[in-house]
Amino acid sequence: MSSTPGTWSLADISGYAADIYEPAAPNPHGYTVMYLHGVHLNRLVDKPAFEQEFARHGLRVVCPRTARSWWTDRICEEFDAKITAERYVLDHVLPWIRERFSAEPPRIALLGTSMGGQGALRFAFKHPQRFPVVAAISPAIDYQYRVEEGDETLPLMYADKEAARQDTATLHVHPLNWPRNIWFACDPTDHRWHESTEKLRMKLAALGIPYVCDLETSGGGHGFEYYNRMAAKAVGFLVERLESERMRV
């Protein structure tokens, strides 16, 4: 573990910018985190709570940007008129990570906040072999409610609220094929999104799918005050479970 700061840089991944964090002392096993941003497109570059954890554990971090795509497999023209955010991650970002850092699943973990939190969970539920380790902070799971509330991108991606609901992370949980390492957290005062994380917790419990969650810790509601508070727990979980995945292999 190291407390020496790493460096951020900007990379071009198939025509789109991505923030890249490289620690001063990289983890010897090449563990890499892919961070999925929220709907406000905030970056981790100026978020020391996360950077300290990345440095401490020697994690390389790749932060692609896909506008307000909700990290779905639907065309969001604000991002790209031909490729979805999901295909961009699978077909372009993962190969870039392999080429740049020689890292491949299961040594790549997903981390997301808000819109990116639900995106990280959905990716892991849809592709559990590629993403067996996932952590989501304040995941905006039931985003279907935004379809009729003035959201500018979702109504262009889904015919109606029900179509959006059918594509949410909870509806992609498979009882026989799931990621082995799931962590999520939501502030109980986050009235918009806490209920949907509680519904996810109940579904996972009912199906007997292992998970770790914190739906009790409060501090900041929805936003980086809370995300920063949960950074050490989320990143610590990722590192612990990346290690357990390595030992399995």
Is residue 14 predicted with pLDDT exceeding 80? yes
pLDDT tens string 155-173: 999 999 999 999 999 999 9
* Mean pLDDT of the region 1-29: 92
Is residue 179 predicted with pLDDT exceeding 70? yes
Residue 249 pLDDT:
58
Is residue 227 predicted with pLDDT exceeding 70? yes
Tell me the three state secondary structure of residue 63. strand
**Cα–Cα nearest to 121, from 79, 174, 183:** 183
Residue 1 pLDDT:
58
Residue 148 pLDDT:
86
What DSSP assignment string belongs to 180-207?
SEEEEE--TT-TTTHHHHHHHHHHHHHH
pLDDT tens string 141-159: 999 999 988 899 999 999 9
* Mean pLDDT of the region 199-223: 97
Question: Cα-Cα-Cα-Cα dihedral of 72, 73, 75, 78, to 10°?
Answer: 30
pLDDT tens string 71-96: 999 999 999 999 999 999 999 999 99
* CATH architecture assignment, domain 7-248: 3-Layer(aba) Sandwich (3.40)
Beta strands in 1-59 (DSSP E): 7-13, 16-22, 32-36
Is residue 3 predicted with pLDDT exceeding 80? no
Residue 5 pLDDT:
84
Going by pLDDT thresholds of 50, 70 and 90, the confidence category of residue 46 is: confident
